[in-house]
Amino acid sequence: MRFVARLFSRATAAFAVAFLFAAAAPTIPAPPPAHASAASTTVEAHPALWTVHGSKATVYLLGSIHVLPPKLQWRTPQINAALNAADTFVFEIPMDASQKADIQKFVKENGYLPEGTALPSLLPPEARKDYTAALSFTHVPPDKLTPMRPWLALLVLEAGMVNQQHFSVDSGVDKQVYAIVANRPGVSFRAFETPEQQLRLLMPEDQSLEVQQFDAALKDLLNESTSIGDLIDAWARADVTKLNELMNSGFKDNPRAEENLFGDRNRAWVTQLETMLNQRHVFFVTAGAGHFAGPKGIPALLRADGYKVDGP
């Protein structure tokens, strides 16, 4: 479960990076899942929506799955009503065209090895075997990854795996929400973080640690027994308890990583939300579903601070 949990902990910027370098190889059809799931046969989803009541503002919270099947329908009447009521839309990072330019700039400056250094040369023999197997599994052309630092190469391999399973970042909830409201007159947009803040979470400063994490992630990718569809199913049923269980199982061996990706950021985002709750707006917040699940999730933190939060 570690690979899937990490995949869904990746923020919007990470998926944008990955799909800037998506594999050009033809898609190999993935085998059908053994059970009916939102990833294959379900055409309608009913994800959880929370409503937070402040002294001046109302805030709607919708958990995003950053990759989804292209034809999955998730806009329930309740979600549509919230989308129509909101005047300010909040995402993890800016969703306009500036995001792509900022990510490209960061990747150019931080995503590549020194000239003359090839990624395979950094890997010990066992990791090279995993690397070769991951290339075969994801159908990512080897020459695409050769000049990349391990953190960036991992994102591209993840994109290749997502592509093989017929999911699309363009169908992600955050991208769809932005597309729905981008040209609506009178609305404004905010973001919790910058692309650089998110990407630096994925980029160890120490190269030896970066290589170790890359090898561990390759093993998780190759040995993952839980499908992306399991997480999507829990989200589609508004089963926040199951979603939290699936996410937490992926971090039980590395609580510090969970704290970096969720705990610290959730608390920082709650601080921003509490400021918004004192402003005269109706906010619609779209962020990764993992940030809303469990006792450390944003709804629970807001309730602990005394706010009325309607929802699961």
- Nearest Cα neighbor of 36 from 63, 69, 76 is 69
35 lies in some domain: no
18 lies in some domain: yes
**Residue 70 to residue 33: CA distance in whole angstroms:** 17
31 lies in some domain: no
**Residue range(s) defining the domain that contains residue 6:** 2-25+44-310
Query: Contact at 8 Å (CB) between 169 and 16?
Result: yes
37 lies in some domain: no
32 lies in some domain: no
Given 3-state DSSP classes, what are the helix, strand and coil percentages for the chain, each rounded to the nearest 5?
55, 10, 35
Cβ neighbours of 132 (radius 10 Å): 14
Cβ neighbours of 123 (radius 10 Å): 19
Q: Where are the alpha helices (DSSP H) in the chain?
A: 2-9, 12-20, 77-85, 97-110, 125-138, 142-145, 150-164, 173-181, 195-200, 207-223, 228-236, 240-249, 255-258, 264-276, 298-304
**Residue 82 to residue 87: CA distance in whole angstroms:** 10
**Residue 32 to residue 107: CA distance in whole angstroms:** 35
Span 76-97, pLDDT tens digits: 999 999 999 999 999 999 998 8
34 lies in some domain: no
Query: Contact at 8 Å (CB) between 163 and 135?
Result: no
- Position 169 scores a pLDDT of 77
User: What angle do helix axes 207-223 and 2-9 make, rounded to 10 degrees?
Assistant: 120
Q: What is the DSSP letter of 40?
A: T
- Position 28 scores a pLDDT of 38
Task: State which residues of the chain have pLDDT below 50.
Answer: 1, 23-40, 42
- Position 20 scores a pLDDT of 66
- Position 1 scores a pLDDT of 46
Burial class (CB in 10 A: 0-12, 13-18, 19+), 43: exposed
Q: Count the domains in the chain.
A: 1
- C-alpha triplet 269, 187, 272: angle, nearest 5°: 15
- Position 107 scores a pLDDT of 92
